[in-house]
A and B are shown apart, each in its own frame.
Chain A
């Protein structure tokens, strides 16, 4: 497996502001993923982030709202822009270890938007 960290672990933000979430892994990985878990719900894939290419977004998620960076093989950021209370969720990153064919998750970022 891999050690995956996320910052911040939680935050309370005002509507209209933006928050950038960091995901760091202790080994080089090709694929990184961002998920959203709304209160009481399951996980939904936001986007797939490959190093050196633009992120691929799922239906219902757009780059202007959730810009993603992937500057190297161990790091990615997700920004939640122009936040509203509906963005209150847990945001999780995951990584697919090369050849492992299994995704491992970071501890998540709990976001509350007031």
Chain B
């Protein structure tokens, strides 16, 4: 069974600072995908970034980037120039794709990120 661990229940940084959220996972699969989702107070789950395990290059999306260390099974999210609107719960998630299609996501417990003005 796959597991996803987020060891930081809550983090707080000042606006414009850079913050890194940690995530580790455990799997015996070789083909899998990793995601970071953001959940603001509205409870809508918003995809932030995704990473394919077979790609060595780290994914980036504007101010968001990941540090994917496959051997260490680590997948951290870096948010640069943090903004007040980044305040939210951030969930790390994992899935595999079998021959029949997508599998469901396994989520970490989440990190509550607070951006202070």
A interface secondary structure, majority:
strand
How many A-B contacts if CB must be within 8 Å?
60
Q: Give Cα distance in the complex from A113 to B46, angstroms.
A: 27
Q: Could you say which of A43, A58, A105, A107 has the most chain B C-beta atoms within 10 Å of its C-beta?
A: A43
* Shortest Cβ distance from A34 into B: residue: B104
**Is A31 engaged at the interface, CB distance under 8 Å to the other chain?**
yes
Nearest CB of B to A9, in Å: 10
- Of B35, B101, B109, B110, the contact of A31 (CB 8 Å cutoff): B101
Q: Give Cα distance in the complex from A1 to B108, angstroms.
A: 23
* Shortest Cβ distance from B43 into A: residue: A108
Q: Which residues of A contact B97 (CB under 8 A)?
A: 101
Q: Which residues of B contact A110 (CB under 8 A)?
A: 43
B91 near A42: Cβ-Cβ < 8 Å: yes
How many of chain B's residues have a CB under 8 angstroms from any CB in A?
Answer: 25
Q: Could you say which of A41, A58, A103 has the most chain B C-beta atoms within 10 Å of its C-beta?
A: A103
Q: Give Cα distance in the complex from A105 to B42, angstroms.
A: 13
A105 near B45: Cβ-Cβ < 8 Å: yes
How many of chain A's residues have a CB under 8 angstroms from any CB in B?
Answer: 26
B35 near A102: Cβ-Cβ < 8 Å: yes
- Of A41, A58, A101, A104, the contact of B104 (CB 8 Å cutoff): A58
Q: Which residues of B contact A66 (CB under 8 A)?
A: none
**Is A75 engaged at the interface, CB distance under 8 Å to the other chain?**
no
* Shortest Cβ distance from A100 into B: residue: B102
**Is A63 engaged at the interface, CB distance under 8 Å to the other chain?**
no
User: Which residues of A line the B interface, CB within 8 A?
Assistant: 1, 30-31, 33, 35, 37, 41-45, 48, 50, 58, 90, 92, 94, 96, 101-105, 107-108, 110
Of the A-B pairs whose beta carbons lie under 8 Å apart in the complex, a sample of 29, sorted by A's number, is A1-B47, A30-B101, A31-B101, A33-B104, A35-B105, A41-B109, A42-B108, A42-B109, A42-B110, A43-B45, A43-B105, A45-B104, A45-B106, A48-B104, A50-B100, A58-B104, A92-B45, A94-B105, A96-B101, A96-B102, A101-B33, A101-B97, A102-B33, A103-B95, A104-B47, A105-B37, A108-B43, A108-B44, A108-B45
